Amino acid sequence: MDLFSITKSKLREELLALYFTNPDKKYYLRELERILKFSVGNIRRELIKLESAGLFLSVSKGNLVYYYLNKSYPLFEELKSIIFKTSGAPKMLQNILEKFNGISQAFIYGSFAKREEREGSDIDLLIIGKVDEDKLIEEIGKLERKLQREINYSIYEKKDFNKKKKEGNSFILDILKEKKILLIGDENGL
């Protein structure tokens, strides 16, 4: 499999994003159809290609075939890093947040930012600015279903965030000390 064919289709991009966001999970075809909203036939063809390239493995249980990532694939860690940066959860979150005016900063923190996430780990998101929370809830909900991960977010208006930081709020100070994945804005604004 050459590098340029990794994400040559929307389906492949979404498959890889889902699997690399949940690298320990095994999915069967109908489950993938429900999550990704692509036809079973197209998903099957894509998984067969990825399996023949060695990136995926499959196992049959009863009449279901489960597909999962081959963590022994020679370029597994490199691909995980590339997918993470180009089409994984951070990029998907960034695409959603860019639709909202009024966000000065947004970043992922916690286990996901430290790359210590496990199956079932949530994604912690901090948003600084003003946002239509009803619309945000709707967009985040769609992404949670697609990624099969819970996304916990906190929203602070800029002045409230700065006030809490100045007052020495332990939650804010702890977040600022740890590793972050910046989605909107930069470190200087924090």
Q: Residue 11 and residue 39: Cα distance in Å, rounded?
A: 10
Question: Which residue ranges form the domains of the chain, and what is each CATH number?
Answer: 3-81 (1.10.10.10), 88-189 (3.30.460.10)
Q: Which residues contact 20 (CB under 8 A, 6 or more apart)?
A: 69, 79, 80, 83, 84, 88
pLDDT of residue 121: 83
Mean pLDDT of the 116-144 span: 92
Characterize the bridge pairing of strands 56-61 and 27-28.
unpaired
Asked whether the predicted pLDDT for residue 3 surpasses 50, the reply is: no
pLDDT of residue 6: 56
Asked whether the predicted pLDDT for residue 110 surpasses 50, the reply is: yes
pLDDT of residue 132: 94
Q: What is the pLDDT of residues 27-47, one digit of tens each?
A: 999 999 999 999 999 999 999
Half-sphere exposure (CA, 13 Å, Cβ side) for 39?
Answer: 3
Q: Residue 90 and residue 74: Cα distance in Å, rounded?
A: 24
- Kindly report the pTM of this predicted structure: 0.78
